[in-house]
Chains A and B, each alone.
Chain A
Amino acid sequence: MIRIDCPICGPRAETEFTYGADATVQRPAMDEGKVQPWLDYVFNRNNPRGAHREYWHHVQGCRQWVVLERNTLTHEIGSCRLARDVEGQEETQGAEA
């Protein structure tokens, strides 16, 4: 069982949350005309074995979207922030180390 430290509700069980998606993937600008950026956005993933940044929805709690740092090999939990506080401050896809 993963325990996620929701910034609003505090530590809560994984079962209160729904996994969303890879949070490093960012939508291209709406006037982006090339195919490859859209292909990367919709389909292609870094899928790292290690540190991963991801969206979870606290659907059985405060209903906020959060951005969680989690290790996909060890399930170790890192920081958890509200998605609305993270958006726009991060580099786009592929930025994670």
Chain B
Amino acid sequence: MNLRRDVFQAIADPTRRAILLLVTSQALTAGAIASNFDTARPTVSKHLAILTECELLEQQQNGREIYYHLNAKKMKEVADFIEPFRKMWDDRFNKLESIMTSKKHELFKKNH
């Protein structure tokens, strides 16, 4: 697995967590985000690229500027990361139930 795309790897970094906090209240340009940090602009750009790659941030073109805003849906998924795993089993068990329900009817027919 490419770790750069791993959302948990992405939020493990304190600078990236700070960036996510910055854009919770409003969409910001890369320049505006970078002005909050002492680190070099390319470093901030790299962090933005990683956050965008794993879909925690979304880009929005506004004239000549690109604004970054938080992808609330993805943030929620991170909060309940176990949900896809539960959903996977739920889907499997739903299938099991429908397969066996139809078999139950087959058996019923045979007996009558």
Are A and B genuine complex partners?
no
Using a CB–CB cutoff of 8 Å, the interface residues on chain A facing chain B are none
Using a CB–CB cutoff of 8 Å, the interface residues on chain B facing chain A are none
